[in-house]
Amino acid sequence: MKQGWKSKKLEHRFIYNSKDPVNYSVIWLCHLYSLFFYTRVYYISLEFYMGRTLQNTMVNLALENACDEATYQLGLDMEELEDMEEDAGLGNGGLGRLAACFLDSMASLGLAAYGYGIRYEFGIFNQKIVNGWQVEEADDWLRYGNPWEKARPEYMRPVHFYGRTEHHPDGVKWVDTQVVLALPYDTPVPGYRNNIVNTMRLWSAKAPCDFNLKDFNVGGYIQAVLDRNLAENISRVLYPNDNFFEGKELRLKQEYFVVSATLQDIVRRFKVSKFGCRDVVRTDFNKMPEKVAIQLNDTHPAMAIPELMRVLVDEEKLTWEMAWDICVRTCAYTNHTVLPEALERWPVDLFAHLLPRHLEIVYEINRRHLEVIAAKYPGDHDRLRRMSLIEEGGQKRINMAHLCIVGSHAVNGVAQIHSDILKATIFKDFYEMEPHKFQNKTNGITPRRWLVMCNPGLAEVIAERIGEDYIRELDQLRSLRKYINDEAFIRDIAKVKQENKLKFSVHLEEHYKVKINPNSMFDIQVKRIHEYKRQLLNCLHIITYYNRIKKEPNKQWTPRTVMIGGKAAPGYHTAKMIIRLITAIGEVVNNDPVVGDRLKVIFLENYRVTLAEKAIPAADLSEQISTAGTEASGTGNMKFMLNGALTIGTMDGANVEMAEEAGEENLFIFGMRVDDVDALDRKGYNAEEYYNRLPELKQAIDQIAGGFFRFCHNDRTISQYAREIWGMEPTLEKLPAPDDKH
């Protein structure tokens, strides 16, 4: 019986012999005990885009074959069972999916880590395409329950809102508040075959039993019960905006709700002296930064900074200086965007109404912060204005990114180019003052879900050559370089890709009633619909390719199936118009007999994690074409590359580092670089210049403007007959009615 034990800071693993349950129990207890002694990571995010859990759990626990066999013996089909699970769509896009990948990675690396967020009753909306337009439907993902979660009412915590502050000689009290209870639900997060399971804890809002009890005295019992919904609405629905700030009171409530409940949990756990003991014995908060690491996933959980200060100063009675030192050394901030419309700036009036004590704390943080700036840069009043946490112009607002930078010991972007832009532009003043705070941490993806689970054929071909250890250490993929010219390896890779394409073709034909050529190039762009991601540029290319085929129908064209998928925020009109354009182009192209199977256009309805797991392994070409300097990182680009797709893209986000790793000659890089975009901004952009200079572009834009892609199927067919056979031009002009005297 060989057993081993290895433990050090931020790392704890164990090996056990399954035939010896006694020793296993001892080692398991040692593992739990180690959680007390070493740092715990608390990853706070308003979004966790988890997708389905069953298959991923089987992969990580090495149970796939056993479960397949067991269900087969019962006369059941495992894939059918997997399809019954609802996606946990508690996120909008990259930020939420990154959080989900991080949980998998932290467990697989043996880190004592917890994910904290909100258990939204309704996640990201389900997208239906009706007559070519996006229609939103509520995502009632919990209607049949969630077998992966366990309610933990014993750890329920009160969260306070509204009220007022009272200043006394012994400190400040926040009184006359409205209380909402935070009920935690725990979901296990297993590491990859290491017998370690971490926890994602999501909070659900519950009204306390005495909510609006005063109404009972005036006969308002029914109304009092109904008003409980006002409190419980906090965890009702995920805001469906990606890279856009919506300054609603409910959203700020959500942000403070998760932060307050989480910090109460963190402090409770910190105070416990050893595993299993609930006595409050640790009161020396100086040790907190050594035991607790809080990572803020964007500015959404920024309230953790003033809330931690409130807890330490008002409740634990620490001095401001000591509390601030603890706060800064404990918190770290990840920035996800440079887009101005996405940066959170909360109105001071709303803050004063909802969180009066926290506004006082933010003002005090800002006062001390400005004192430091004034001392370091005397007389530079413009710098004071730029770096203040409070924006004075017009309506006073709190800049949450500035709060995060000042209150954290580390600030990181999510790709090298993004981090460089942060230091050179929006956070330039902060970087000049505290350059040691700024880092880069390029986003990543978990290879368990995005290769082993969704593309087992490719994972097996790789394992046959270099073994399975690459699943834990992806750098080992470098070993594949010696097989670059190995015909058998190339043939095996191509076979897997074709099998994936055939399988996805069946799915597409079943759902979209369009005949797919599985030998065509699968050209895929899947991400949230946004102007900066440039699905519109993709549309112009599709139209141009269509026009070229129509112009020279007898030429040998490479067959291409273009797929675009993604959701538009419900209030984002332009994004919805882009979806309508894509579907309209598909209606024309897919029904044109001249084009045939040389070009098909599919809009992938209701793009989500589960659909990504089908589409990405089948892709030949990955479209990563955002305007340089706008995409923070992108992680879809990595998923496609890991699954063997070639990349066409701009030098933006993580594309830059992918090009450095793979060699720029192995990606189809085009378009302006960041410096070129900045130069064009300064010069001024004249769209008409490009329109007049490029005949194919002019033709495509004229077709869109002229309604060529607007007609329904019967109208389109007759329009083509009229123009191309009968020599007539259709008109939408309405004739006057016979009895119309005008």
Phi-psi domain of 437 (left: phi exceeds 0; alpha: psi -120 through 50; beta: other): alpha
Contact 550, 595 (CB under 8 A): yes
Q: How far apart are CA 31 and CA 127, in angstroms?
A: 44
- Residue 304 parent element (H or E): helix 304-310
Quote the tokens at residue 73.
Answer: 């013996």
Q: Which residues are catalytic?
A: 336, 527-528, 533, 635, 639
Helices 573-589 and 713-721: crossing angle, nearest 10°?
60
Q: How far apart are CA 728 and CA 303, in angstroms?
A: 65
**Secondary structure percentages of the chain, helix, strand, coil, to 5:** 50, 20, 35
Contact 408, 331 (CB under 8 A): yes
Q: Is 225 exposed, middle or buried (0-12, 13-18, 19+ CB in 10 A)?
A: middle
Counting Cα atoms < 13 Å in the Cβ hemisphere of 366 gives 22
**Number of other residues whose CB lies within 10 A of the CB of residue 691:** 14
Strand partners, 398: 346, 390
**Number of other residues whose CB lies within 10 A of the CB of residue 657:** 18
DSSP 352-419: HHH-HHHHHHHHHHHHHHHHHHHHHSTT-HHHHHHH-SEE-SSS-EEEHHHHHHHT-SEEEESSHHHH
Q: How far apart are CA 471 and CA 497, in angstroms?
A: 19
Alpha carbon 76 to its chain's center: 34
Residue position matching structure tokens 């009702």:
236
Q: How far apart are CA 568 and CA 240, in angstroms?
A: 9
Q: How far apart are CA 631 and CA 533, in angstroms?
A: 8
